[in-house]
Amino acid sequence: MKKSAICPGSFDPITKGHMDIIKRSSKMFDKLYVAVLTNSAKKSSFTIEERMEMIRNCTKDIPNIEVCTFDGLLAEYAKKIGVIAIVKGLRAVTDFEYEFQMALTNKKINRELETIFLTTNSKYMYLSSSIVKEIARNGGDISDFVPAEVLADIEKRIKNRKD
Ligand code: PNS
């Protein structure tokens, strides 16, 4: 039986830390959905369409990835498309409480669904989309932090939004 998983996030914008988790999890499953979602607790800088386009750009060479979005609950969408697991990256202890709460809630909604945590590559321990935006807004170099395919795009969009 083919096994698929979903890697959800706000990806606002995608970073090298996200790409590391996406690449590693795409090797663990026959199919990986990368779901771009609105996190109601965060104010986003890029539209869902912009974020999906950037991720498609960075993952175009990985054949078993599909970039998607949806309204509603992750655990219910997972059931609808038949994925067996949610994959999330864990950077540090600070991520744990929030991720643990979401994993337990998702399990409560959908008993069949597992959450798998991949420990981040130590190179990206400190990295977040918010840090990337903060550096770019202040004219800093973000080339170490975001995939090369979307570097110019992110810089341009952040600059335009500042003006
Ligand atoms: O990258 P983020 O912002 O940490 O991702 C959080 C996200 C988008 C995965 C989370 O907010 C989510 O799953 N939203 C979908 C709605 C949902 O199912 N909420 C209940 C989860 S406990």
pLDDT above 80 (res 43): yes
Residue in 41, 148, 23, 36 with CA at minimum distance from that of residue 89: 23
pLDDT band at 159 (very low <50, low <70, confident <90, very high): confident
Is residue 143 annotated as part of the catalytic site, yes or no? no
Closest ligand 1 atom to the C-alpha of 88? 9
What was the pLDDT predicted at 9? 98
Q: Which of 51, 91, 133, 157 is labelled catalytic?
A: 91
**Is 91 assigned a catalytic role?**
yes
Q: What is the pLDDT of residue 76?
A: 98
- CA 5 → CA 22, 43, 84, distances in Å? 11, 26, 6
In this structure, what token pair is assigned to residue 133? 């935006």
Per-residue pLDDT reduced to its tens digit, 82-122: 999 999 999 988 889 999 999 999 999 999 999 999 999 99
User: Within 10 A of 89 (CB to CB), how many other CB atoms are there?
Assistant: 21
Q: Where does the pLDDT of residue 152 fall: very low under 50, low under 70, confident under 90, or very high at 90 and above?
A: very high
pLDDT score, position 161: 78
Per-residue model confidence (pLDDT) at position 162: 59
Percent pLDDT > 90 in the chain is 93
161 labelled catalytic:
no
User: Hey, whose CA ends up nearest to atom 2 of ligand 1?
Assistant: 9
Task: Determine if ligand 1 sits within 6 Å of the CB of residue 130.
Answer: no
Compute the distance between CA of residue 108 and CA of residue 111 in angstroms, rounded to an integer: 6
Rounded to an integer, the average pLDDT of 12-38 is 98
Q: Residue 160 pLDDT > 90, yes or no?
A: no
* Runs of H (alpha helix) within the chain: 16-28, 48-58, 74-81, 93-109, 129-137, 148-162
Confidence of residue 141 (pLDDT cuts 50, 70, 90): very high
Q: What is the pLDDT of residue 1?
A: 82
CB atoms near residue 57 (< 10 Å): 14
User: Whole-angstrom Cα distance, residue 50 to residue 160?
Assistant: 14
First to last CA, the chain: 52
Question: What value does the mean pLDDT take over residues 60-66?
Answer: 98
62: number of Cβ within 10 Å? 14
Cβ atoms within 10 Å of 79's Cβ, excluding its own: 15
For ligand 1, say whether the CB of 121 is within 6 Å of any of its atoms. no
What the block records as the tokens of 20 is 């590391």
Mean pLDDT of 62-77: 98
User: What's the gap in Å between 160 CA and the centre of ligand 1?
Assistant: 28
Supply the pTM of this predicted model: 0.96
- Rounded mean pLDDT of the chain? 95
